[in-house]
């Protein structure tokens, strides 16, 4: 299972946006967002929800969680 920060970076790259743009969306500094993408800082649930909405994915998909039946 990929780590959440890897998935967030992957989705950002697929969408073709810069870290600065996502940082502005989340109302955090670009430096803080960069730390989130490296896994050094965790994002609160409200920011994860905002990212899931922005990338049009579920929270499970955003954090790389695979559904097991």
| Residue range 4-61 in CATH 1.10.260.40 | yes
Residue-wise pLDDT for 10-69, tens only, equals 999 999 999 999 999 999 999 999 999 998 998 899 999 999 999 999 998 888 787 555
* 3-state SS class at 40: coil
**Confidence at residue 4, expressed as pLDDT on a 0 to 100 scale:** 75
Q: What is the pTM of this model?
A: 0.84
d(CA 56, CA 50): 10
d(CA 23, CA 20): 5
Q: Bigger pLDDT: 38 or 5?
A: 38
């Amino acid at each position: 299972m990929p780590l959440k920060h890897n998935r967030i970076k992957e989705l950002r790259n697929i969408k073709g946006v810069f870290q600065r743009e996502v940082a502005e969306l989340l109302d955090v500094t670009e430096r803080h967002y960069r730390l989130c993408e490296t896994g050094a800082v965790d994002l609160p649930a409200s920011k994860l929800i905002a990212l899931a909405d922005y990338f049009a994915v579920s929270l499970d998909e955003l954090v790389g969680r695979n559904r097991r039946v």
